[in-house]
């Protein structure tokens, strides 16, 4: 009799085989990326370091150590940073060698990496380097130790604060700030009288970081410094330290003849949130000094109070005689999203100034209160296109079905902004009553804004939209419209044969505009016939950072190579935030 296989053992064997396959696949990826560290293009080598850093595979450490000797400065810097993030003790000795080797030019980066690894060998070497005869080595060691708040760094760094070299004094002040060392408050206060402006600025920053109120009187005195930049830094420091003793001097600064200092005072008062500043900041909403945004800083300061008195002052400003003051108040109320402001904002929809009324609509959009629906519908019937557009956008965000018919009624608005807002609102509402009107509007719209209508139409999961999208793709010459249609068809390619056939025909014609817009469809389809044209589309003028990042992470070697070529052509790596995690070749 043949022995029967134990089903549990069989299941375990299958699982182990699958895991081994996954491991080997990941191993191949790591090996391939490691090989790219020898690529002739520095941008590719940098990208390889970034990818190895993300993979966090310990096999990457030796190649990254070798990259410390790369001929390009930027590659050596990235390698040192990556090794610090790996925190692998194997990197300590090579990093120490790089730290002491002036010719490599990565002393600072190597020191930072050693501090991150926090291996006793590295920490001891950095502490010993505080006595090195070379200034660059001493400074790098002091900063690295300061970053990890090593108490051994305090005295050597403090000694640099008394150096005859201004750059040394500046670095020392910054390092003490990084350490947040309260023992340094006295010496840093004394440094506020340094003759060098950059040293005074560094001392102010350090005191701000330490957050010790003993510094308040000295920082108040610094508000009278002859250099406006120092006054500016002192104001911000006082705001962040939040000592009430600073309110009076900052209110005085709010009346300074130099507008940038008034802006600094407003921002600092916003951090302090002292009610004594509400009325002066309200008056500053009218400050229209050119190129300084004093009034905007005052509005933002009032908003940061999170106090009913400050909100009431902003609401009162909606009726101010100054147009800019009303606009700034409406913009800040948009940011606050406070339901108490709904009634004043509804009244502001009728403001004679388009910017104020539009900002009121957007504020109501952010608050999301149903009381605003009827007033916003009424604003759709007004004479001002900008206001109609923003009112439509607000109605879309509110998602109230009462708005569907009024929005459809103004779908053929001749004002482009209004038409765009209506289209976007109907897309958000997703009411099937809008489909046929949108199809009709796509045939008549101004090409400049037709892409909003096509995008809105494409958002509906309804078979009726496919043919109009195909028509827009084939008959329109305007790039944005064709791209919007291609993206919408790409979303339907898996369930709609007509959409898929249209996209494959575009691929066959080498229509790079369409292929670049619809590339997720082709990547998910996973057919080899698409590879050559996808590569051409990426490397054409239609390729983007996001497309390159997706190709790099999609799991197809040829598309990864195309992405590397794109990186070489543009001289910069793509970043983690650019790619779509779910986009994989053939899935």
CATH of the domain at 48: 1.25.10.10
Q: Look at residue 26 in the predicted model and tell me its pLDDT.
A: 64
What pLDDT, on the 0 to 100 scale, is given for residue 105?
79
Provide the pLDDT confidence category of residue 551 given band limits of 50, 70 and 90.
very high
* pLDDT greater than 90 at residue 452: no
Residue carrying the six token digits 């660059």? 136
207-211, 358-362, 481-485: least confidently modelled range: 481-485
The H or E element that residue 99 is part of is helix 92-100
Q: Is 63 helix (H, G, I), strand (E, B) or coil?
A: helix
pLDDT in the model for residue 540: 94
Report CA-CA distances (Å) from 128 to 132, 133, 137, 153, 156.
7, 11, 10, 10, 11
Report residue 89 as tokens: 């003790």
Q: Which two tokens stand for residue 202?
A: 């560094």
The whole-number pLDDT of residue 25 equals 56
Residue 42: pLDDT above 60? yes
Average of pLDDT values for 5-14? 38
Burial class (CB in 10 A: 0-12, 13-18, 19+), 128: exposed
In this model, does residue 168 exceed pLDDT 90?
no
In a domain, 266, yes or no: no
* CA angle 26–29–32, rounded 5-degree value: 150
Residue-wise pLDDT for 461-503, tens only, equals 999 999 999 988 887 678 888 899 999 999 888 778 999 999 9
For residue 381, pLDDT beyond 50:
yes
Q: Residue 122 sits in which domain range?
A: 8-148
pLDDT for 514 equals: 94
CA–CA distances in Å: residue 320 to residues 299, 301, 313, 314, 317: 13, 18, 11, 10, 5
Contacts 24+ apart (CB under 8 A), 10-14: none
What does the alpha-carbon distance between residue 260 and residue 178 come to, in Å, rounded to a whole number? Answer: 27
Element (H, E) at 326: helix 323-336
| Residue 312 structure tokens | 């009431």
Cα–Cα separations (whole angstroms), residue 465 to 435, 453, 474, 477: 7, 12, 15, 20
The mean pLDDT of 96-102, rounded to a whole number, is: 87
Q: Is the dihedral of CA 317, 318, 319, 322 positive or negative?
A: positive
Q: Check whether 449 has a pLDDT greater than 70.
A: no
pLDDT at 447: 56
Give, in degrees to the nearest 5, the angle at Cα 221 between 217 and 226: 160
Q: Which of 38-47, 234-243, 386-395, 561-570 has the highest mean pLDDT?
A: 234-243
In 3D space, the residue among 383, 364, 384, 366 whose CA is nearest the CA of residue 374 turns out to be 364
State yes or no: pLDDT of 98 exceeds 50: yes
Residues in the chain: 587
The verdict on residue 331 lying in a domain is no
Structural domain contains residue 485: no
Asked whether residue 60 is domain-assigned, the answer is yes
Kindly tell me if the per-residue pLDDT of 530 is higher than 90. Answer: yes
In this predicted structure, the answer to whether residue 16 has a pLDDT above a threshold of 50 is no
Predicted local distance difference test score (pLDDT) of residue 443: 78
Encode pLDDT of 115-139 as tens digits.
899 888 988 888 888 788 888 888 7
Report if residue 564 sits inside a domain. no
Residue 558 in domain = no
Domain count, the chain: 1
Tell me the pTM. Answer: 0.76
Of the listed ranges 292-296, 386-390, 438-442, 572-576, the least confidently predicted one is 572-576
E strands of 209-253, at which residues? none
CA quadruple 207, 210, 214, 216: dihedral positive or negative? positive
- Measured CA to CA, the distance from residue 574 to residue 564 in angstroms comes to 10
Cα pseudo-dihedral 467, 468, 470, 472, rounded to 10? 170
Scored b (16 or more CB within 10 A) or e, 90-121 reads bbbebbbebbeeeebebbbbbbbbbbbbebee
Which pair of tokens denotes residue 98?
Answer: 């790089």
- pLDDT score for 416: 55
**Residue 465 belongs to a domain:** no
Average pLDDT over residues 531-542: 95
Q: What is the mean pLDDT of the chain?
A: 88
DSSP secondary structure letter of residue 446: -
Question: In 3-state terms, what secondary structure has residue 165?
Answer: coil
Mean pLDDT of 25-32: 75
Residue 41's pLDDT is: 85
pLDDT range class, residue 233, cuts 50, 70, 90:
very high
CB 545 within 8 A of CB 537: no
Segment holding 418, helix H or strand E? helix 416-429
Measure the N-to-C terminal CA separation of the chain; round to a whole number of Å.
44
> 30-46 burial by CB neighbour count: b if 16+ within 10 A, else e?
beebbebbeeebbbbbb
Q: In percent, how much of the chain has pLDDT > 90?
A: 61
352 found inside a domain: no
Helix (H) and strand (E) counts for the chain? Answer: 36, 0
Cα of 441 vs its chain's centroid, Å: 35
Q: What percent of the chain has pLDDT over 70?
A: 92
**Which residue, 391, 373, 371, is CA-closest to 381?**
391
| Contact between residue 203 and residue 196 where contact means Cβ atoms under 8 Å apart | no
Q: For position 580, what pLDDT does the model report? A: 64
pLDDT at 104: 67
Segment among 22-31, 96-105, 498-507 with least mean pLDDT:
22-31
- For the stretch 325-341, pLDDT in tens is 999 999 999 999 999 99
Model confidence band, residue 553 (pLDDT cutoffs 50, 70, 90): confident
Q: Which of 194-203, 328-337, 552-561 is the least confident region?
A: 552-561
pLDDT digit string (tens) for 150-162? 787 788 788 888 8
Flag whether pLDDT at 576 surpasses 70.
Answer: no
């Amino acid at each position: 009799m043949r022995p029967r296989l134990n089903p549990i053992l069989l299941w375990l064997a299958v699982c182990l085989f699958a895991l081994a396959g996954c491991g080997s696949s990941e191993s191949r990826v790591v090996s391939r990326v490691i090989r790219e560290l020898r690529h002739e293009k520095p941008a590719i080598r940098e990208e390889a370091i970034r990818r190895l850093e993300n993979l966090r595979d310990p096999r990457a450490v030796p190649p990254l150590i070798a990259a410390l000797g790369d001929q390009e400065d930027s590659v050596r810097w990235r390698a040192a940073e990556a090794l610090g993030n790996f925190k692998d003790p194997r990197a300590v000795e090579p990093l120490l060698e790089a730290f002491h080797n002036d010719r490599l030019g990565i002393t600072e980066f190597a020191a930072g990496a050693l501090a991150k690894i926090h291996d006793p060998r590295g920490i001891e070497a950095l502490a010993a380097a505080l006595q090195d005869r070379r200034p660059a080595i001493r400074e790098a060691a002091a900063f690295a130790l300061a970053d990890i708040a090593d108490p051994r760094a305090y005295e050597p760094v403090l000694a640099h604060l008394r150096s005859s070299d201004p750059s040394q004094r500046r670095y020392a002040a910054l390092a003490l700030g990084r350490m947040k060392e309260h023992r340094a408050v006295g010496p840093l206060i004394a440094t506020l009288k340094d003759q060098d402006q950059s040293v005074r600025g560094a001392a102010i920053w350090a005191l701000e970081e330490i957050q010790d109120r003993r510094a308040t009187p000295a920082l108040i005195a610094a508000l009278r410094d002859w250099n406006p930049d120092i006054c500016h830094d002192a104001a911000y420091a006082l705001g962040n330290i939040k000592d009430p003793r600073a309110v009076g001097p900052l209110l005085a600064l709010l009346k300074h003849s130099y507008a940038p200092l008034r802006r600094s005072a407003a921002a600092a008062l916003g951090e302090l949130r002292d009610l004594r500043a509400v009325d002066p900041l309200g008056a500053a909403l009218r400050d229209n000094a050119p190129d300084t945004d004093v009034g905007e800083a005052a509005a933002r300061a009032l908003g940061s109070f999170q106090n009913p008195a400050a909100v009431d002052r902003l609401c009162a400003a909606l009726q101010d005689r100054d147009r800019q003051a009303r606009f700034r108040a409406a913009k800040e109320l948009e940011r606050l999203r406070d339901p108490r402001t709904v009634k004043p904002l509804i009244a502001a929809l009728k403001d004679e100034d388009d910017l104020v009324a539009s900002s009121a609509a957007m504020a109501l959009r952010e608050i999301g209160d149903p009381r605003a629906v009827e007033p916003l519908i009424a604003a759709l019937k007004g004479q001002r296109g900008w206001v109609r557009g923003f009112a439509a956008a607000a109605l879309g965000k509110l998602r109230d079905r009462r708005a569907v018919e009024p929005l459809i009624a103004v779908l053929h608005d001749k004002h482009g902004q209004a038409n765009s807002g209506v289209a976007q609102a109907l897309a958000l509402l997703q009411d099937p009553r809008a489909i046929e009107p949108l199809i009709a509007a796509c045939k008549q719209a101004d090409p400049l804004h037709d892409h909003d209508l096509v995008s809105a139409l494409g958002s509906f999961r309804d078979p009726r939209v496919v043919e109009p999208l195909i028509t827009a793709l084939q008959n329109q010459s305007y790039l944005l419209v064709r791209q919007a249609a291609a993206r919408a068809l790409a979303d339907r390619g898996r369930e709609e044969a007509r959409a898929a056939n249209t996209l494959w025909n575009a691929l066959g014609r080498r229509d790079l505009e369409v292929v670049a817009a619809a590339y997720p469809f082709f990547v998910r389809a996973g057919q080899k016939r698409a590879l050559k044209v996808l590569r051409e589309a990426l490397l054409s003028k239609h390729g983007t950072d996001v497309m390159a990042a997706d190709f790099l992470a999609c799991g197809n070697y040829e598309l990864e190579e195309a992405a590397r070529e794109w990186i070489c052509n543009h001289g910069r790596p793509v970043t983690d935030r650019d790619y779509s995690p779910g986009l994989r070749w053939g899935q």
